[in-house]
Structure 1
Amino acid sequence: MLESAAGPGPGHSGDSRPVPERVLLFGAGYVAGHIAARLSALGSEVAVSSRQPPLTAESRRARWHQVDVESPDAVAALVRRVRPDAVVAVHGPSDITWCETHPAETMAAHHGGARNIAAALDGRPVLLISTDNVFDGHAESHGESAVPEPANAYGRAKLAAERELLATQDALVLRVSLVYGLGDTGARPNFLTSTVRTLRSGRPLLVPEDHWNTPVLVDDVAHWSAALLRAGRRGVLHLGGPRRIGRAAWARHIAEALGADPALVRPAPRTGTAYACRPRNACLHSELAGRYPELGPHPPADVLHCTPALIST
């Protein structure tokens, strides 16, 4: 159940409340950078933090602090120094294939980091960006009432992080489906960015023919995050795009928008690709979002409508 710190129920509008004055993000990657930029545009003083200096343009515009989220002393010291009014957790490795072969490191970063963040909150609200990989993918899509059954090491670590932060009673867990956008200069760019680069180079692209997502534009993640922080929500909420689409179909759509040879897209069984550890259906929908007026101005974009516009910019 999703609630508001100002009182549960659909009559509450977050637009009447200011954004937190100071926000600290644990994480400085592509998604964190866009959340930071949105909060900054709304008037928050924002800081991002990570072990290494940020690579993405949006994160580099924010004030950056070096921190090892696996160190409880370092996390506590950073919270004392920044004195945030709210915290956003977007930390830990997100390359699902890498996580599957490094389960201990993945759990230490996500769960251990969440435990350290929880210990340092001292009553502050926290927003955790989580994943559709907390589900096994047997259903075509998963709402908030679905029981988590993680599909892989990444999902198990994220679910452990969720439970750690929800136990504080001051957390909102926002599970997002596959996030996309252009301009991702991180170490492992999102699917749209990497597909565009591969096809523009004329190289073939091996993609699973049996893997479905409800892709979410990174700007929508940022808008929802800011609106939900402003409204003071707590609990679990899902953000999935309005279209369920297979990776191969999306890749062909990208090729068409680019004017690239569609034969470069090589469909293959998921088990024979880097996506083997992903759930068959990494899809989310929300049973709750329609009740919350602060989300009304930000309906998730349709991936097929967005892709040509993004590629042409």
Structure 2
Amino acid sequence: MKVLITGSNGLLGQHLIPLFLQDGKYDVIATGRGPNRFPLRDKYTYEAVNLRDAGSVKQLVEKHKPDIIIHGGAMSQVDDCEKNKDACWDTNVGATRYLVHAAESCNAFFIFLSTDFVFDGLQGPYSEDATVNPINYYGTSKVAAERLVINSKLQWAIVRTVLVYGVVADPHRNNMITWVKNNLQQGKKVKVVDDQWRTPTLCHDLAQGCLLIADKKAAGFFNISGNEILTPYDMAIQTAEYFKLDTSLVEKISAKTLAQPAARPAKTGLLIDKAAKELGYQPRSFAEGLEIVAGEIKP
């Protein structure tokens, strides 16, 4: 069975590739912008493709005729989306439109990665049937892309997730855990908000959730996230304690004090009962995820 993974240079993509290869029944085609940045190069095909170009997308899908497409490629930096709305729309909506149309030609099962930012944060945590109401442009673009998938002729699954953390094979890319660790080791203070609530998601768990959906071709909406409601401040304190660093350097602040271009929902988080029941999905705790990430951080 052929699976096409978009956004393969990103955090999720770099965890999906080895997981699907390890499963044994999938031929993996990975695609990203520019050269392959994942150190593992064997046993799968990599194609550099601009998903914002309809012709390139059509050619890619016609060449490989995948049975399953996992569309994780996106512009996901929330403030960048707010400042560069055209680029955000082209990347998150336009590329999805091209992929959906191409997928219809080979009747691929389409798994679309979405976000808790489709919600306004007034009544979190959210179930799969909660009403979307985004408060920033990133969320708006993902709602529009979700609708393209829903209204397609395809069998589809939409995976919503939250605050994904993990290690990517790119020394220039930070994550919250390494950011806290590196600053505290240098004796620097970190300011972290304590008035936003999320269910942070270990990237390994998100990838596993995608594999479970692909294996079953389970259609519909699925919340795939962690199971603990934490603030970024909670995460920073747990990180400092794990690495035995000075927690007094972690300063609690309100999100209202940050001059961010994009609004953030106050309390999102996702309820994962459906994924647990229908897929057998079982995420790790943040403490367990922290231990896994710590083991993967290069000294």
TM-score by length of 1: 0.86
User: In the TM superposition, what is the alpha-carbon distance from 1:107 to its structure 2 partner?
Assistant: 1.2
Identity of aligned residues (%): 26
Measure the CA separation in 2 of the matches of 1:112 and 1:59. Answer: 29
1:211 to 186, 189, 196: 196
Give the aligned partner of residue 63 of structure 2.
81
Measure the CA separation in 2 of the matches of 1:160 and 1:106. Answer: 12
User: In the TM superposition, what is the alpha-carbon distance from 1:213 to its structure 2 partner?
Assistant: 0.9
CA contact (8 A) 1:32 1:59 kept: no
2:113 to 101, 115, 129: 129
CA contact (8 A) 1:30 1:186 kept: no
Measure the CA separation in 2 of the matches of 1:170 and 1:306. Answer: 32
Measure the CA separation in 2 of the matches of 1:62 and 1:267. Answer: 45
Amino acid at match of 2:217: G
1:303 to 280, 286, 296: 286
Say how many residue pairs are matched. Answer: 290
TM-score by length of 2: 0.90
Greater relative CO (CA pairs within 8 A, separation 6+)? 1
Structure 2 unaligned blocks of 5 or more = none
Measure the CA separation in 2 of the matches of 1:143 and 1:258. Answer: 34
Measure the CA separation in 2 of the matches of 1:247 and 1:88. Answer: 28
User: In the TM superposition, what is the alpha-carbon distance from 1:288 to its structure 2 partner?
Assistant: 2.0
Measure the CA separation in 1 of the matches of 2:195 and 2:12. Answer: 26
**How far does the alpha carbon of each residue in 1:146-194 deviate from its partner, in whole angstroms, 9 at most, with x for none?**
1001121111111111111122242110001111123463754332233
Which secondary structure state, in structure 1, belongs to the residue aligned with residue 227 of structure 2?
Answer: coil
CA contact (8 A) 2:14 2:168 kept: no
Which secondary structure state, in structure 1, belongs to the residue aligned with residue 251 of structure 2?
Answer: strand
Measure the CA separation in 2 of the matches of 1:81 and 1:150. Answer: 36
Measure the CA separation in 1 of the matches of 2:271 and 2:40. Answer: 28
**How far does the alpha carbon of each residue in 1:100-122 deviate from its partner, in whole angstroms, 9 at most, with x for none?**
22222111100001000011012
**How far does the alpha carbon of each residue in 1:205-258 deviate from its partner, in whole angstroms, 9 at most, with x for none?**
221121111011111111111111110111111112111011111101101111
Give the aligned partner of residue 215 of structure 2.
230
CA contact (8 A) 1:134 1:159 kept: yes
CA contact (8 A) 2:92 2:142 kept: yes
Question: 1:47 aligned to 2:32?
Answer: no
1:284 to 252, 255, 270: 270
Measure the CA separation in 2 of the matches of 1:186 and 1:47. Answer: 24
Which secondary structure state, in structure 2, belongs to the residue aligned with residue 213 of structure 1?
Answer: coil
